[in-house]
Amino acid sequence: MNPVIPIQTDRGCQEAPVLRERGQREVFCGLTGIIWLHRKMQDAFFLVVGSRTCAHLIQSAAGVMIFAEPRFATAILDERDLAGLADAQDELDRVVQRLLERRPDIRMLFLVGSCPSEVIKLDLSRAAARLSQRHAPRVRVLNYSGSGIETTFTQGEDACLAALVPSLPAQPPEAAGHAPELLVVGALADVVEDQFRRQFDAMGLQRVDFFPARSSTTLPAIGPQTRFLLAQPFLGDTARALEARGARHVPAPFPLGAEGSAAWLQAGAAAMGLDRDRTAEVIEPWRQRAGRALETHRLRLAGQRVFFFPDSQLEIPLARFLSRELGMQLVEVGTPYLHRSHLAEELALLPSGTALSEGQDVERQLDRCRAARPDLVVCGLGLANPLEAEGLTTKWSIELVFTPIHGFDQAADLAALFTRPLLRRQRLAA
């Protein structure tokens, strides 16, 4: 039998105090989001307008071999551009023209701003409008900022999708008399999207779309009949843009682990008017299978203490999963931004008294982490190696974004990401 997941009888951490810190930060920039977005949007191309450092970052993050031809590139700003000796808009037009001639498969082009392009005030929105008009209807050109000056790395996806929302077609007027349509928002691996489609279909939901779509020719129509489920907790700007188009947000925990996936699917079904008991009956076999797959990891992780540095904005849903389904103890859960309305259901499921922090003052957080000596630290790459050298066991938070972790079938894979560092430490000690 599977262990019964306890139901919270209090309000968890919905009203818990949050330590807000505004100091030095250690995060990747939003350009990193291109790595998973270009895999998802199969006829889109991402052209970063930045420096050689931007190009090296993306290439390193993607692990692209020198002979590969991915769907992203960097238009490098050199000394002439930075000094104002060349017209950057004219230069950009020439780069885009050459790119589209070479890659006729491109149907959507994103001009992605970077720290260098924003420092010199290069107006990419004007360039996108001009180029979109020039290359219409074959190619649509949009722009967003991937700068890391004031953001964390997952906000690159948020900025990209928010920029795409105005391009989504409107629901036809006759849709007002029809049943609502469900929209799943957030880039998911294709295998995970296919799993969710099958599960929604088994529940009796056929009117389900995913955003972003795999093709720019199949963008979902939205309007007042749209109900949207967030698959990722870092899509605040995208959610606001969808609500401005008339869509309604469906509050739900995020689909991480058996409990989160079940609650997320049930919330979507309820928003579409399905019977709750019937939905629970359909979901239960998937939930039980995921629970059985988690048992081995629970034996290894139960009682272990974990500390989250703020990095990906996945921290609170992950903390809920580790605490409730794997029995880990939460020392501190830090997140770059705490969107209370989107995370209300997650906060209610955290153990009362959990230490929460928003933002970052890295030196103070390091001091608290060193004093606590947790069994596992979830943090960015810039902190992981120094902490490992001090004898602490770490998990790279960026791997949790690059890896398919959503849904029932990925629950054990998600747990294994936390089990492996502890097993590695045990082997090294032996």
Known binding-site residues for [4Fe-4S] cluster equal: 29, 54, 115
Burial class, 218, CB count within 10 angstroms (exposed 0-12 / middle 13-18 / buried 19+): exposed
Residue 345: both structure tokens together: 């259901």
CA distance 427 to 234: 36
- Residue identified by tokens 């389900």 is 208
Query: Residue 175, Cβ neighbours under 10 Å: how many?
Result: 16
The helix-helix angle for 236-244 and 155-164 (nearest 10°) equals: 20
Burial class, 422, CB count within 10 angstroms (exposed 0-12 / middle 13-18 / buried 19+): middle
**Cα diameter, the chain:** 71
Query: Residue 150, Cβ neighbours under 10 Å: how many?
Result: 10
Q: Which of 197, 195, 201, 198 is nearest to 210 (CA)?
A: 197
Query: Residue 220, Cβ neighbours under 10 Å: how many?
Result: 20
DSSP 3-state of 62: helix
**Contact call for residues 146 and 117 (beta carbons, < 8 A):** no
CA angle 190, 220, 408 (to 5 degrees): 35
CA distance 101 to 339: 43
Instruction: Work out the end-to-end distance of the chain between its first and last CA atoms, rounded to an integer number of angstroms.
Output: 34
**Contact call for residues 140 and 216 (beta carbons, < 8 A):** yes
* Residues of each annotated binding site: 29, 54, 115
CA distance 282 to 399: 31
Residue 191: both structure tokens together: 């295998």
Residue 238: both structure tokens together: 């995208």
Residue 421: both structure tokens together: 């560092």
Residue 185: both structure tokens together: 């928002």
